Amino acid sequence: MSWGVKNRLSRIIRNGRCVMLAVDHGYFLGPTSGLENLGKALPPLLPHADALMLTRGALRTSVLPESAPPIVLRVSGGPSVLKEDLSDEYITTSVEEAVRLNASAVTMSIFVGSAHESRTIANLGKLVNEAERYGLPVLAVTAVGKDMARDARYLGLCCRMAAEQGAHVVKTYHCEGFEKVVEATPVPLIIAGGKKVPEREALQLARNAIESGAIGVDMGRNIFQSDNPTGMIRAVRAIVHENASVDSAYDLYKRKVPAR
């Protein structure tokens, strides 16, 4: 790993752990509930995030350069939620643009088992080739098609394929037997939050993920769709960085933080 890749990764992964705030949903979902106005939704959350995952359009329009945490820039896209097959993705943002935006990493999705599986894997390989030229790490996202089982066998396949293409970090879903996925993936794993669930359940998910070997979370809807988003990101942070129990994190979630 080059010095630049290591240095950029160390901005995102602090003391071996990471709380990434995912707000890239609009790249195929449009104005997702809770993110209709990014400029209003983000400022209270940013001080609690180790990194922010979003598209270039969201970054340029809705985040002040002076107050941005390290950026993980989504560089893939294509189909909208209106399409049956979401796997038809291309690389839409150049590595040059990522460097211009001072991104700390670039990210894209692979769709193993889907119609455009091969293209997304080739996209990843090419992105690693180009990003490494500039010392930029690549975070691969294992997107799961509607028909795929989210089990250790399938997710293990996706994560291993991403790592074999050279991804430096992989984002995937938690599952039963997640330890096996961790064991067989030679790069760090972070887990996505998934659909909004009750806060205690989302905190339990974060705790289970850390206990079974994930280095952190890349959570979106379970933070920004919470009735107390700032409390929720602080609670997730306590689990990831301080090994807090679900009960004590839940107490933190319920606390209202005065606006700055």
Largest CA-CA distance found in the chain, in angstroms, rounded: 49
Cβ partners under 8 Å of residue 65, min gap 6? none
Counting contacts by CB under 6 A, is residue 24 touching ligand R5P?
Answer: yes
Counting contacts by CB under 6 A, is residue 218 touching ligand R5P?
Answer: yes
Q: How far is CA 252 from CA 13, 200, 211, 216, 248, in A?
A: 23, 11, 20, 18, 6
Residues within window 41-80 making contact with ligand R5P, judged by CB under 6 A: 53
Counting contacts by CB under 6 A, is residue 35 touching ligand R5P?
Answer: no
Closest CA to 239 of 213, 208, 212, 199: 208
Counting contacts by CB under 6 A, is residue 203 touching ligand R5P?
Answer: no
Question: Toward ligand R5P, which CB reaches closer, 75 or 246?
Answer: 75
Question: Toward ligand R5P, which CB reaches closer, 71 or 192?
Answer: 192
Counting contacts by CB under 6 A, is residue 106 touching ligand R5P?
Answer: no
Q: Which residues are catalytic?
A: 171
**Min dist. Cβ of residue 193 to ligand R5P (A):** 3
Spell out a b/e string for 59-84, using b for 16 or more CB atoms within 10 Å of the CB, else e.
beebbeeeebbbbbbbbbbbeeeeee
Of 106, 108, 181, 192, the one binding ligand R5P by CB under 6 A: 192
State which amino acid sits at residue 6.
Answer: K
Residues in touch with ligand R5P (CB under 6 A)? 22, 24-25, 53, 109, 141, 143, 192-194, 218-222
